[in-house]
Amino acid sequence: MYFNPRIEQKIVRTVLWLFTFITVAILVFIVVFILRKGLPVVNWEFLSRNPLDMGKAGGVFSTIVGTIALTLMALVVATPLGVGTAIFLTEYTFENRLTRIIRFGAECLAGIPSIIFGLFGFILFVTKLKFGWSILSGGLTLAFMILPTIIRTSEEAIRSVPESYRQVSFSLGSTKWQTVSRVVLPSALPGIVTGVILSIGRSIGETAAVIFTAGSVLRLPSSIFSSSRTMAVHFYILAREGISMPMAYGTAAILVIAILVINLATYYLMEKFIRRYS
Amino acid sequence: MLNKINLEVFHNEILGIIGPAASGKTTFLRSLNRLNDLRPGSRVEGTIEIDGQDIYAPEVSVVELRRRLGMVFATPVPLPRSIYENVIFGNRLAGMRNKHELDDLVERSLEQVGLWGEVADRLDSSACKLSGGQQQRLCIARILALRPEFILLDEPTSGLDPISTMKIEDSLNRLKKDYSIILVTNNTKQAARVADRTAFFLSGELIEIGPSDKIFTAPANPKTNDYVSGRFG
């Protein structure tokens, strides 16, 4: 079968445009749908008050706090571990069997369904280590879940720092760690941050891993040993148990907005950072 | 892979090293400041001495050593920082903090490569925005700020235009009264222009070394003659 290359070009162009359009349209549809259903119940009261009557009334304040606490907990644990592992794999070892095994392990970890992490976290943190249903247990479980993403993206980012930077740094009399901390990491930061943002998104939206480990208590958490409910879990319970669909959509709307805001804020900060350093 | 290389570098001279690609010029240069140590599986036999001290001896600090042998690479590599921070990068690593000293150092180092007049008013802007030739002179200023004893240049003008090249060659001529310079170049004419002595490398071996006049007009070895007259390379 023969196509005139010019016609072929037009067809391919149209098809690719259509694919892009469909992708964007789906995204816009979801966001608009959720905001339209959810925004009517969102007001200052909704944001600032704790849920009442299982979530039928009141607001979602405690679940916002719970979400932030869990996500922070996960990031505080997973970022140093993940970035540290990535630095070790790229800068402190030569490629060998061990690094390949570690990388393979991290990739397998990334493919495990989150509910398995939930179960694992429940067995290890909640029961074995007796942390109970708590922000600590949930945060650690989320940390394990996002660790592979952080390792992988950090590794890519560090690898893409030009070798010549390292050569120059060493030739000017730097130690390994000086090179890593002053040259490699600043250059790799945008990539590392991208990985961290992806992880934040995953943590905020996670239900299965969290419901088993942080519980679903509606009270405002008072310490990392308090059980807490995240927005995603709150949404799941409200919708699943038919408690209140308007409240569920309100929660969903805030979740969507939060993720948008986090992304925008980070990209803005990143822009500023890159302009300063290059 | 280098073999049978035996040469001396004198104070205050420019030693040119010429030879075709893969003749071991860069490897030689990198074994002087031990940058080859970073390659997996690199191995050194024989000795390299500075003023009688073996630089591969276990008590030698590689970090100190590299400060004594400043290196300029084939492509200019400004670090993604300001011009100012690029110049004093090595000094900061060494723990220098005094703002006045650093300011002085920046001015003097840039002055030495003829860059001060061109960038004095924008020291805080990114070094990556300079032209290629300016970037390469910045790289030289960056090692001068460390007050090294040797300057190792690895084809420093290979990507530059003739005017930038001339500026760098001028700087080298001025610098040789204070430093010992080793200039690796794949441009034989450059060696003829600026080097006091020239060494010819081929397949990892030193074929001939001598005063540049002699190497370029009456070399002892026929291979040298073939190379400098352009019969191969």
pLDDT at A166: 93
What confidence tens digit (pLDDT) does each residue in A34-64 have?
Answer: 999 999 988 888 888 888 888 788 888 989 9
Tell me whether residue A70 is in a domain: yes
Nearest beta carbon to residue B33 from set A162, A171, A277: A171
Mean pLDDT of B177-192: 90
Mutate to test the interface with B, among A91, A94, A172 (most CBs of B within 10 A): A172
pLDDT at B103: 92
Mean pLDDT of B25-43: 85
CA of A26: how far to CAs of A19, A204, A253, B62, B144, in Å? Answer: 11, 21, 16, 58, 58
Interface touch A170/B38, C-beta < 8 Å = yes
Question: A–B: how many Cβ contacts below 8 A?
Answer: 62
CA of A93: how far to CAs of A97, A100, A174, B128, B140, in Å? Answer: 11, 11, 18, 30, 31
Domain containing A67 equals: 44-277
Residue A12 above 60 pLDDT? yes
In whole angstroms, how large is the CA radius of gyration of chain A?
22
The Cα–Cα gap between A140 and B222 comes to: 72
Tell me whether residue B140 is in a domain: no
What confidence tens digit (pLDDT) does each residue in A171-190 have?
Answer: 998 999 999 999 999 999 98
CA of B233: how far to CAs of B20, B51, B201, B203, in Å? Answer: 5, 34, 11, 12
Q: What share of chain A is helix, strand, coil (3-state, %, to 5)?
A: 80, 0, 20
Share of residues in chain A with pLDDT > 90 (%)? 56
The CATH number covering residue A136 comes to 1.10.3720.10
Tell me whether residue A49 is in a domain: yes
Kindly indicate the confidence band of residue B106, based on its pLDDT and cuts at 50, 70 and 90.
Answer: very high
Tell me whether residue B100 is in a domain: no
Tell me whether residue A268 is in a domain: yes
pLDDT at B49: 87
Kindly indicate the confidence band of residue A221, based on its pLDDT and cuts at 50, 70 and 90.
Answer: confident
Residue B1 above 80 pLDDT? no
Mean pLDDT of chain A: 90
Mean pLDDT of chain B: 89
- Give phi and psi for B181, each to the nearest 5: -120, 135
Tell me whether residue B131 is in a domain: no
pLDDT at A257: 92
Residue A273 above 80 pLDDT? no
pLDDT at A278: 57
Interface touch A172/B142, C-beta < 8 Å = yes
Domain count for chain B: 1
Q: Higher model confidence: residue A1 or residue B172?
A: B172
* Minimum distance, in Å, between the CA of residue A80 and any CA atom of chain B: 24
Residue B72 neighbours by CB distance under 10 Å: 26
pLDDT at A276: 66
Kindly indicate the confidence band of residue A1, based on its pLDDT and cuts at 50, 70 and 90.
Answer: low
Domain count for chain A: 1
Domain containing B175 equals: 14-78+148-228
pLDDT at A216: 85
Tell me whether residue B163 is in a domain: yes
Interface touch A169/B73, C-beta < 8 Å = no
Interface touch A172/B128, C-beta < 8 Å = no
Mean pLDDT of A8-16: 93
Q: Quick one: closest CA in A to B32, which residue?
A: A171
The CATH number covering residue B204 comes to 3.40.50.300
pLDDT at A4: 86
Tell me whether residue A106 is in a domain: yes
Kindly indicate the confidence band of residue A277, based on its pLDDT and cuts at 50, 70 and 90.
Answer: low
Q: Quick one: closest CA in A to B33, which residue?
A: A171
pTM: 0.83
Tell me whether residue B138 is in a domain: no
Tell me whether residue B94 is in a domain: no
Mean pLDDT of B135-139: 92
pLDDT at B109: 92
Question: Within an 8 Å CB–CB cutoff, is residue B120 touching chain A?
Answer: no
Spatial CA neighbour of B201 closest among B17, B1, B7: B17
